[in-house]
Amino acid sequence: MTVTVSFVLNGEDVSVDVEPRTLLVEALRDRLRRTGTHVGCDTSQCGACVVHVDGRSVKSCSMLAVQAEGAEVVTIEGLAKGGRLHPMQEAFREHHGLQCGFCTPGMIMSALDLVSQNPDPDENQIRHWLEGNLCRCTGYQNIVRAIKAGAQAMRSA
Amino acid sequence: MAENGIGVAVRRKEDRRFITGAGRYTDDINRPDQLYAYILRSPLAHARINAIETAAALAAPGVVAVFTGADMAADGVGGLPCGWGVANKDGSPMVEPTHPCMVVDRVRYVGDQVATVLARTRAAAKDAAELIEVDYEELPSVTDIHSATADDAPLVWDEAPGNVCYDWAIGDARAVDAAFEKADRVVSIDVVNNRLIPNAMEPRAAIGEYDEATGDYTLYTTSQNPHVIRLLMGAYVLGIPEHKLRVVAPDVGGGFGSKIFHYAEEAIVTWAAKRVGRPVKWTADRSESFISDAHGRDHVSHAELALSDEGDFLALRVRTRANLGAYLSTFAPSVPTYLYATLLAGTYKTPAIYAEVKSVFTNTVPVDAYRGAGRPEASYLLERLVDKAARVTGIGPIELRRRNFIDPDSFPYQTPVALEYDTGDYDACLAKALEIADYAGFDRRRKESAERGKLRGIGIATYIEACGIAPSNVAGALGARAGLYEVGTIRVNPTGSVTVLTGSHSHGQGHETTFAQLVTEALGVDIDNVDVVHGDTAKIPFGMGTYGSRSLAVGGMALMAALDKVKAKSKKIAAHLLEASDEDIEFKDGKLTVAGTDRSVSFGEVALAAYVPHNYPLDILEPGLEETAFYDPKNFTFPAGCHIAEVEIDPDTGVTEVLNFVAADDFGRIVNPMIVEGQVHGGVVQGIGQALYEQCVYDPESGQLLTGSMMDYCMPKADNVPRLEVATNTTLCTHNALGVKGAGEAGAIGATPAVINAVVDALSGIGVDDVPIPATPERVWQAIRQAAA
Ligand code: FES
Ligand code: FES
């Protein structure tokens, strides 16, 4: 049995047939071929799957695709506009906030939610916010630095 | 220095695809008509299988095939090979049991592969696997070293009495005994090196494909070394010759050693793809990663240090038992032997060392190399012991180390455990770390903490590591069953852009940038016109891959050798174009000039002439400009350094907080300081994770992995670790032209002993002289209570 779910993905209307048990991340990756959103765990710990649903960061592995009906979903693929990187993406590159890149989309999407609530987060606030995002490569230091710089760039944009 | 050449913190070329979500990891790839594999794994630690009933699963919706070990055996599929043999003390070979891709009649750990379901969707395969009925007859199991070596221990393998894989030794036992007899004092320690679960953020995945028309196989896999997988799987498991097997390791989301090894799933999907005539894809769930990725560490050791009254180290005696798990993973035997005991000299001139290592089988996931592989275990043991000696002798941790460091002017230095260090300056790293850590001001900070009711401690660890994992002939003499050189090709394209083919593999290390910097420096080609290709056996001549911090020191040197050939040929072409002799041509900043004149051609013109050889010395020179080099290093490289951790402990809760952390490392020449710093950050945090958080626990009764998810296995999070101070002090490697040593593992080697030494230092004032690792709040709290009692 499948159901059709329709939502706005990175500004485009999409419709996809899924099983009721299909997770949002599975629909995004397997059906809609947006593979920038990653799956790093099966217990909602790692944050590699973070996307925005109606403006807030959500672990797309902990939500059913059908729950996205009518929602506005933004993934990492939706950030760069017309080939121009989002300032937060730029900051991750500038400050070496990634190594293998696997956690990176989730980190960036999560960071953007933080900045939307707190435009000028300090180091502690950033570290605390990242509690739900694991990175095994960077030791977090340059991710924290990148988020701080990204927030700064967004303020002055 | 070229604009983006050696020594510049060039921003990474590879980043754009990762920050835009365009990275291409194995699970991002789908092949037309592919099926999904789900692997049914043993729920028991040890059991005989009487029967496997698969009919119901086969009849389930969407299911195309169900395979068991019997099907693979019937097809003549071989076992997973072990790539390193270790001999017993008496010269006899280690016990090397077969390692089937899927078991036939006995499972040996929770996670062992029992059956594979292929279905049209992942969910259908998983659902159907629940319908497979396996008739298990449970057997007693052992999971830890103590129980495995007990007299009446159940046997994992009938052919391995006492569960011993090998009982090996290195060093001069008699010289050590003699030194101990003359010693003024002996300090001893018992340490556990806790078992770790690597947890690269990308779970392993594999896609197998078979082309009926050509007989060609393709395997996409999350590997650090695709050519090694091709060799092992092709030659030993499936019997596919190299020219019929392509292995692709696309973007890989971290490895830390766990993606070196040849795993069963790779062979299963490749074999199954031919059986069903469709591509087969498998991706691990994280909980599957916990019970199927090779684990790391897991040693129990006793060590004794003989000293003179003045504090000179006279001899070191070490007895280690190592847990290898249920089967021998690809490089498992080498980790607790040649990658561990050979490092027991550390940074010290201890004249006599003897180490015995007994490695045992248990009913657990196989154990193999994990970031540092053997070297963290050696550093941890030695630096804990040296710190204890510093305390009990009253000489102090700085003075005792300084007294015993190998002097900077005594290189090359032959250790009593086989290695010859080429260069280093250990005191310089120590001095630098002490200064940055404001060691002198520590007492004041300790008092401040005490006023707040907290216990503050500072811990030092120096380390040395042997990197590069080569030369081949040395590794071969020690039991390696493969060569350990590296391969690189510099392909200059007709219009002067450069494609680099490397046998190294990047899974986060930034090779696409660092290697491009080497090319820019050598040929003066703009870095945007240099592309680095890795991870595909169809594109790259050959390669041994990335592990042991070897990419730059071995892979980079192969590229340097190829660049030298390109430069030499370019000079010949330029000499022809400029009507001069080769020796008079100077190659600098992308221009080839006749020395002492203003007559020159650009490198681009030379490249074009090589491919459009109208005006070209065809009688003496082939057209084209592409060179390949195989580089086999002359020795290991020896990065070294000093790490200092400062911690504060809340005696009421046992919680340890790392307040400051300093790493002062000697990596030789640094090509990209930004990337090197990032490597240190990541390694140090893994090292802190081992010291304070990461604990792999098996239930001793049932053999179940109790820490089988990210909820139960605690990895460091952003708010668990401090901001790290990273510095370098450079001595150049003497046996490669770049002077590079490698930086990938250092953090994980130095950090763990530094943190635990700091914890012990914090508690020593209240009578605690040892803490178990990881020093979790509960354990620290217990240690404090016990000392008070
Ligand atoms: S995949 Fe790990 S939190 Fe969603
Ligand atoms: S960059 Fe590899 S997990 Fe974060």
**DSSP states along B457-469:** EEEEEEEE--BS-
Residue-range definition of the domain harbouring residue A16: 3-78
**Do the Cβ atoms of B733 and B740 come closer than 8 Å?**
yes
Give the rounded percent of residues in chain B with a pLDDT score beyond 70: 100
β-strands B413-414, B585-588 pairing = unpaired
Domain carrying residue B597:
15-20+485-631
- Indicate whether B190 belongs to any domain: no
A104 shares a domain with A141: yes
Size of interface A-B (CB pairs under 8 A): 176
Does residue B518 sit in the same domain as residue B502?
A: yes
Q: Are residues B132 and B117 in the same domain?
A: yes
User: Relative to the alpha carbon of B25, which ligand is closest?
Assistant: 2
Of B631, B660, B680, at which residue does a domain stop? B631
User: What confidence score (pLDDT) does residue B305 get?
Assistant: 98
Do B535 and B219 meet the contact criterion of CB atoms below 8 Å apart? Answer: no
A3-9/B133-138 β-pairing: unpaired
Distance B197 CA to ligand 1 centre (A): 18
- Provide the pLDDT for residue B481: 87
Q: Tell whether ligand 1 has an atom less than 6 A from the beta carbon of residue A47.
A: yes
Q: Which residues of A touch B23 (CB under 8 A)?
A: 36, 101-102
CB atoms within 10 A of CB B213: 5
Average pLDDT of chain B to the nearest whole number:
97
Strand-pairing partners, residue A4, are: A17
Shared domain for B102 and B238, answered yes or no, is: yes
Q: Which tokens in the block code for residue B565? A: 């050939």
Residue A109 parent element (H or E): helix A104-117
To the nearest 10 degrees (0 to 180), the angle between helices A141-156 and A104-117 is 50
The H or E element containing residue B685 is helix B673-688
**How far apart (Å, rounded) are the C-alpha atoms in residues B591 and B571?**
10
Please report the pLDDT score of residue B31 as a whole number. Answer: 98
Count of the separate structural domains present in chain A: 2
Phi-psi region of A16 (alpha: psi -120 to 50; beta: other; left: phi over 0): beta
Pick the last residue of a domain from B600, B631, B662.
B631
The count of other CB atoms within 10 Å of the CB of residue B75 is 13
Q: Are residues B421 and B506 in the same domain?
A: no
Q: What is the pLDDT of residues B159-184, one digit of tens each?
A: 999 999 999 999 999 999 999 999 99
Cis peptide before B241 (omega within 30 of 0): no
Structural domains counted in chain B: 3
Residue B625 shares a structural domain with residue B642:
no
Answer with the one of B589, B612, B631 that is the final residue of a domain: B631
Instruction: Give this complex's ipTM.
Output: 0.98
Cα–Cα distance measured from residue B470 to residue B476, given in angstroms and rounded to the nearest whole number: 9
- Tokens standing for B765? 């004032």
Same-domain pairing of B613 and B659: no
Q: What is the pLDDT of residue B789?
A: 83
> How many CA atoms does the CB half-sphere of B728 hold within 13 Å?
25
Confidence class for position B435, pLDDT limits 50, 70, 90: very high
Please give the Cα distance from B196 to B199 (Å, whole number): 9
Secondary element (H or E) of residue B602: strand B600-602
Instruction: Give a yes or no: residue B158 inside a domain.
Output: no
Going by pLDDT thresholds of 50, 70 and 90, the confidence category of residue B683 is very high
Closest chain B C-alpha to A74 CA, distance in angstroms: 12
Minimum-distance CB partner of A104 among B11, B18, B285: B18
Q: Give the CA radius of gyration of chain B.
A: 27
Residue B166 lies in a domain: no
Does B155 map to a domain?
no
Is residue B192 one of the residues assigned to a domain? Answer: no
Q: What is the CATH number of the domain that holds A124?
A: 1.10.150.120
Residues A28 and A71 in one domain: yes
CA distance B148 to chain A (A): 32
Confidence (pLDDT) at B474:
86
Asked if residue B737 lies in contact with residue B559, where contact means CB atoms within 8 angstroms, the answer is no
My answer on whether B346 and B489 are in the same domain is no
Checking if the pLDDT of B2 tops 80, the result is no
**Structure tokens, B773:** 């690792």
Is the per-residue pLDDT at B470 higher than 80?
Answer: no
Where b means 16+ CB within 10 Å and e means fewer, B515-552 reads bbbbbbbbbbbbbebbbbebbbbeebebbbbbbbbbbb
Q: What pLDDT was estimated at residue B206?
A: 98
In angstroms, the CA A48 to CA A59 distance is 8
- CB contacts, 8 Å: A38 with chain B: 25, 201-202, 253
Distance, CA A103 to ligand 2 centroid (Å)? 5
Q: Are residues B551 and B615 in the same domain?
A: yes
User: Structure tokens of B651?
Assistant: 């005696």
Residues A51 and A109 in one domain: no
Q: Tell me the ligand closest to A146's alpha carbon.
A: 2
User: Residue A38 belongs to a domain with what CATH number?
Assistant: 3.10.20.30
Q: Which residues contact A141 (CB under 8 A, 6 or more apart)?
A: B681, B723, B724
Say whether both B283 and B333 belong to one domain: no
Domain at B749, CATH number:
3.30.365.10
Angle, helix B777-788 to helix B746-764, in steps of 10 degrees: 30
User: How high is the pLDDT of residue A157?
Assistant: 79
**Confidence at residue B1, expressed as pLDDT on a 0 to 100 scale:** 53
Distance, in Å, from the CA atom of A25 to the CA atom of A12, rounded to the nearest integer, reads 17
Print pLDDT tens along chain A (157 aa).
Answer: 899 999 999 999 999 999 999 999 999 999 999 999 999 999 999 999 999 999 999 999 999 999 999 999 999 999 999 889 999 999 999 999 999 999 999 999 999 999 999 999 999 999 999 999 999 999 999 999 999 999 999 999 7
E strand or H helix at A114: helix A104-117
Cβ-Cβ contacts under 8 Å for B568 (sequence gap 6 or more): none
Contact B112, B69 (CB under 8 A): no
